[in-house]
Each structure stands twice: as C-alpha cells, then as structure tokens.
C-alpha cells in the first residue's frame, strides 16, 4: 500500500489543470485509504492484531478504488493518458470497490468479492506496468497537467 503513495503525487502532476480540485480530492481520499490499509496490514504482520481484527481495515481499499477511477478518468479526459490505459485503470478501481462491496455484504463467499478480485488482479498489474512503460518512454508527460 505504501508503494502506491508515489503514484498519488505523480498523478497530481499528470491530471489536467482544469479539474485539478478533483485530482486533489482523489489524492487525499486515496492516500487516506492507502495509509489506513497499510496501518492495518502492519498491525497484522507485527502480530498486534489477528486476522479477524484486521478485517475492519479492509474497507479502506474502497478509497483506493475511487481514487484510481477518478485519476484515470481525469487523465483520459485531458489527453494525458491513452484511453485504453485509462479504462484498464478504471476497471482496476472498480475491482477494488466491488471486492469491498462483496466483502461487506457477506465476506469472502460473495460473488462480487470474487468478480472484483478477478478484475483487480488482472487489470491493476497490466495498468501499472503499462503506465510505467509509458512514463519511462516519455509518452506520458509529468507536469503536463
């Protein structure tokens, strides 16, 4: 989760200047979700809480999904990101949210949990690798927003 925080800063420089307030809202909302998720996972790894107690931190992942949807939509709208890449990120964000909704409804036995996890598990790595390749190639300009 903590390794996602630099992407928040990066996207503040990529999103278009016009709806920049939405970019900031997405950044704050997503960062809060990332930090809360990292805190809960940290407590679990350090043995301070058990798995059952760690589940109360799980819904924070929804904030990460909302942020991902917003920034991808903003970057696509402003032309800073290819449309297919943006839709891949939007699918990943939706996967975060569906996973959380399914989990909150009936835990890991909910079909939405599995649909969201599948969408997230496939689309997020594709999105992240593709975005990284574009950034390193200079095809997505930082500071262009």
For the chain, the first-to-last Cα distance in angstroms comes to 25
Residues 6+ apart with CB under 8 A from 115: 98, 102
Q: Does residue 143 lie within any of the structural domains? A: no
Q: Does residue 84 lie within any of the structural domains? A: yes
Output 6 or 13, whichever has higher pLDDT. Answer: 6
In this prediction the pTM is: 0.85
Q: Does residue 109 lie within any of the structural domains? A: yes
Question: Using an 8 Å Cβ cutoff, are 27 and 11 in contact?
Answer: yes
What pLDDT, in 10s, does the model give residues 19-34? 667 878 888 989 999 9
As a whole number, mean pLDDT of residues 83-94 equals: 96
Nearest to 119 by CA among 136, 100, 135: 100
Output 68 or 77, whichever has higher pLDDT. Answer: 68
Number of domains in the chain: 1
**pLDDT above 90 for 123:** yes
Q: Does residue 118 lie within any of the structural domains? A: yes
Cα separation, 81 vs 6, whole angstroms? 18
Which range of residues forms the domain containing residue 93?
2-137
């Amino acid at each position: 989760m903590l390794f996602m925080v630099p992407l928040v800063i990066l996207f503040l420089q990529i999103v278009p200047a016009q709806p920049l307030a939405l970019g900031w809202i997405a950044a704050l909302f997503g960062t809060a979700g990332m930090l809360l998720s990292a805190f809960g996972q940290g407590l679990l790894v350090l043995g301070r809480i058990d798995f059952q107690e760690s589940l109360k931190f799980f819904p924070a992942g929804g904030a990460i999904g909302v942020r991902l949807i917003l920034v991808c939509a903003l970057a696509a709208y402003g032309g800073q990101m290819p449309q297919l890449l943006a839709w891949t990120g939007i699918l990943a964000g939706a996967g975060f949210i569906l996973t959380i909704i399914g989990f909150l409804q009936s835990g890991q036995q909910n079909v939405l949990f599995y649909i969201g996890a599948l969408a997230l598990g496939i689309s997020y790595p594709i999105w992240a690798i593709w975005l990284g390749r574009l950034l390193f190639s200079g095809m997505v300009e930082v500071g262009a927003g």
